[in-house]
């Protein structure tokens, strides 16, 4: 409940910010795009360091403090007079969020039995996608009726609700020893990175989620141009197709639990990468509305087979005292790939063409899936040989 309400408020606030920068402040295309950049930048840069601290902090207090701080920060947007004040608030709020997300990952792993991790993570992903679909319409209605400030008041209220809900939880998590120096922070950060690089399943998960997020963001940044130049359609078709990915993910999370019952999560992730690549290739090959609908739904459906099992693999294989820094590093790579994709997609499409960018995204996913399958199969064979009498 805390997740659903808080994510709903976040989307309301983000869409209200876009409305203010675009229409009230008459911001340029660059100024509008920088809203997302300033929102993602701390999540990409701060998350690994935040994860180190979260491992040694009380996760319940960390999440509640994060919610209360963000409740205040988003109210500061009521007084913003220029875009740089908005960027500053987003930068600080996103930095605070960098501490909440690893703490949330630890909480889920602590409270949920191992056999229920797939269902729990699927439910969280479903909540996120449902809110992503309904929030734009509600935000637009609130902005038109009561002005964008109503969204900031509501977002602040959702953080207070989330903090209240989290305060009712008992989280039996044993924190790591407190960090006493900057050298200790660096040592713990290095140990987390070393664990990721030397653990086959975790390293595959990080690369898979990073590649999947890059392909999705690179693809998503060009949907409007794809609809205009390839499909020869307008804004109504763009709106419909844009929401289909969310619907596909909602459907996919229902099936990922069934697919994971008798299969290794790493194999499910591999299949998800291949399926997502196939759907992106379909969009590049064909220029019809029907194939676009199938491709969009398919991308959402198969990306659920990447994100949900990957999150479970990370939670299962990471020691409890390292979960914060490992999840922080994973989130850092995911958000970094989003930033790179957002910044590079336009230039790549201009020089190579949209179809070739989509083919390249599909090829990237196929290569990652193939290398991951070979790497994990080889590691599994070596382990079985070593264990044989």
Q: Do 252 and 143 fall into the same domain?
A: no
Average pLDDT over residues 142-163: 89
Does 120 or 29 have the greater pLDDT score?
120
Q: Do 153 and 209 fall into the same domain?
A: no
Residue 358 in any domain: the answer is yes
Residue 188 in any domain: the answer is no
Q: Do 72 and 109 fall into the same domain?
A: yes
Boundary residue ending a domain (169, 184, 217): 169
Residue 184 in any domain: the answer is no
CA gap 297, 380 in Å, rounded = 34
Q: Do 206 and 93 fall into the same domain?
A: no
pLDDT on residue 301: 92
Residues 263/255, Cβ–Cβ less than 8 Å: no
Average pLDDT over residues 254-265: 81
Write the CATH number for 297: 1.20.1250.20
Boundary residue ending a domain (169, 187, 209): 169
Average pLDDT over residues 262-285: 88
Per-residue tokens: 5: 């309400």
**How much of the chain, in percent, has pLDDT values that exceed 70?**
92
Average pLDDT over residues 224-249: 78
Residue 37 in any domain: the answer is yes
pLDDT on residue 329: 84
User: For the chain, how far is it from start to end, CA to CA, in angstroms?
Assistant: 51
CA gap 330, 261 in Å, rounded = 25
DSSP code of residue 260: T
Average pLDDT over residues 148-172: 91
Residue 271 in any domain: the answer is yes
Q: Do 380 and 305 fall into the same domain?
A: yes
Q: Do 237 and 342 fall into the same domain?
A: yes
CA gap 158, 134 in Å, rounded = 16
Residue 88 in any domain: the answer is yes
Range in 80-94, 176-190, 266-280, 353-367 with the lowest mean pLDDT: 176-190
Tens of pLDDT, residues 15-55 = 888 878 877 887 776 787 788 888 888 888 898 889 888 88
pLDDT on residue 240: 75
Average pLDDT over residues 209-229: 77
DSSP assignment of 203-231, as one string?
Answer: HHHHHHHHHHHHHHHHHHTTHHHIIIIIS
Say if residue 385's pLDDT is above 50: no
Cβ neighbors of 241 (< 8 A, separation 6 or more) are 223, 227, 292, 293, 296
What is the band of 228 on the pLDDT scale with cuts at 50, 70, 90? confident
What is the band of 239 on the pLDDT scale with cuts at 50, 70, 90? low
Average pLDDT over residues 10-19: 82
Q: Do 278 and 133 fall into the same domain?
A: no
Residue 189 in any domain: the answer is no
Range in 56-60, 102-106, 241-245, 291-295 with the lowest mean pLDDT: 241-245
Q: Which domain holds residue 144?
A: 1-169
Q: Do 309 and 359 fall into the same domain?
A: yes
CA gap 166, 203 in Å, rounded = 31
**How much of the chain, in percent, has pLDDT values that exceed 90?**
18
Does 60 or 196 have the greater pLDDT score?
60
Residue 98 in any domain: the answer is yes
**Number of domains the chain contains:** 2
Q: Do 218 and 117 fall into the same domain?
A: no
Q: Do 207 and 311 fall into the same domain?
A: yes
Determine the length of the chain: 389
Q: Do 318 and 373 fall into the same domain?
A: yes
Q: Do 165 and 201 fall into the same domain?
A: no
């Amino acid at each position: 409940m805390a997740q659903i309400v808080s994510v709903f408020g976040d989307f309301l606030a983000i869409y209200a910010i876009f409305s203010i920068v675009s229409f009230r402040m008459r911001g340029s295309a660059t100024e509008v795009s920088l809203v997302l950049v300033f929102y993602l930048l701390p999540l990409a840069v701060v998350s690994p360091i935040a994860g180190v601290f979260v491992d040694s902090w009380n996760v319940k207090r960390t999440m509640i403090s994060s919610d209360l701080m963000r409740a205040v920060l988003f109210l500061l947007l009521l007084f913003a007079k220029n875009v740089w004040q908005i960027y500053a608030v987003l930068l600080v709020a996103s930095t605070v969020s960098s501490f909440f997300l690893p703490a949330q990952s630890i909480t889920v792993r602590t409270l949920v039995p191992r056999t229920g991790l797939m269902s729990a993570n699927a439910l969280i992903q479903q909540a996120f996608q449902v809110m992503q679909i309904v929030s734009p319409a509600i935000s637009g209605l609130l902005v038109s009726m009561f002005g964008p400030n109503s969204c900031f008041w509501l977002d602040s209220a959702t953080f207070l609700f989330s903090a209240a809900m989290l305060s009712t939880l008992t989280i039996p998590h044993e924190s790591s020893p407190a960090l006493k120096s900057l050298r200790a922070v660096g040592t713990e950060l290095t140990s987390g990175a070393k664990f990721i690089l030397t653990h086959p399943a975790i390293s595959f998960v990080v690369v898979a989620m990073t590649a999947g997020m890059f392909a999705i963001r690179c693809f998503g940044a060009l949907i409007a141009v794809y609809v205009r130049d390839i499909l020869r359609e307008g804004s109504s078709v763009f709106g419909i197709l844009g929401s289909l990915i969310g619907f596909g993910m909602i459907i996919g999370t229902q099936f990922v639990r069934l697919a994971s019952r008798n299969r290794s999560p790493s194999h499910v992730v591999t299949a998800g990468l291949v399926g997502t690549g196939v759907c992106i290739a379909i969009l590049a090959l064909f220029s019809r509305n029907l194939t676009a609908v199938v491709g969009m739904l398919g991308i959402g459906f198969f990306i659920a087979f990447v994100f949900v099992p990957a999150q479970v693999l990370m939670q299962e294989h990471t020691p409890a005292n390292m979960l914060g820094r490992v999840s922080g590093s994973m989130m850092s790579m995911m958000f970094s790939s989003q930033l790179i994709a957002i910044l590079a997609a336009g230039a790549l499409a201009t020089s190579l063409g949209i179809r070739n960018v989509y083919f390249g995204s599909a090829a990237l996913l196929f290569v990652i899936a193939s290398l991951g399958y070979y790497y994990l199969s080889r590691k599994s064979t070596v382990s079985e040989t070593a264990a044989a009498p």
